[in-house]
Amino acid sequence: MQNAKDSFYMALRTRLTAINPDRTILLRGTVRPGILVEEAEAPLSQLPNDVFILRWLSVGVDMDLESTMAAAECEILYQTCGTQSYGGLDRGRSMSAMDQELITMFQPFYTPKLSYTATPPAAMLTQVFWDEPVFSPIVVQRDLLSRSAKAMVYSYQEQGE
């Protein structure tokens, strides 16, 4: 399932860069697109604002098909305090902008599966595909708005995976 998870993340990351190239994060001295995989980063004491954090939850398989299909639930967390120039009073607009970016990143609902164990990544034989995101209600904590969205990510297992 690792190839599917990597391919899903890279598809979202590439799409985010096209949608909003200004959504970035400075992490360990490097400016990167504003989307991270929680399990692939050093532990964070708190989630960064205005960045998408991918968290992988449950995993399942269906072996009753001609090819084994694996599925993993992905939760994408994000939060904002708005911008300093508006004193945070635009936090609702900032949250709406992030909601729209996430909806746009998810489309189309598939991407080629690649193996990132080599450079450049090697194309595999199948695709990775996913459901529409299901958004949680906004949580308000003082000046911080946060939300998550969940989606199931699917992939057929290929030989050697």
- 125: exposed, middle or buried (C-beta count within 10 Å: 0-12, 13-18, 19+)? exposed
Residues 97 and 34: their CA atoms lie apart, in Å, by 13
* pLDDT on residue 149: 98
Residue 105: what pLDDT? 98
- What pLDDT does 148 receive? 98
pLDDT at 4: 97
pLDDT reported for residue 159: 85
pLDDT of residue 87: 74
Decide the pairing of beta strands 69-80 and 52-62: antiparallel
End-to-end Cα separation, the chain, in angstroms: 7
Low-confidence ranges of the chain (pLDDT < 50): none
Domain ranges of the chain: 2-156
Confirm if 67 and 130 have CB atoms less than 8 A apart.
Answer: no
pLDDT at site 38: 95
Residue 161: predicted pLDDT: 83
Question: Is 145:91 a contact under the CB 8 Å cutoff?
Answer: yes
The predicted pLDDT at position 8 comes to: 98
* Contact (Cβ atoms closer than 8 angstroms) between residue 96 and residue 82: no
Question: What does the pLDDT read at residue 44?
Answer: 82
- Predicted confidence at residue 65, as pLDDT, reads 76
CATH number 3.40.50 given to 2-156: no
Cis peptide upstream of residue 43 (ω within 30 degrees of 0)? no
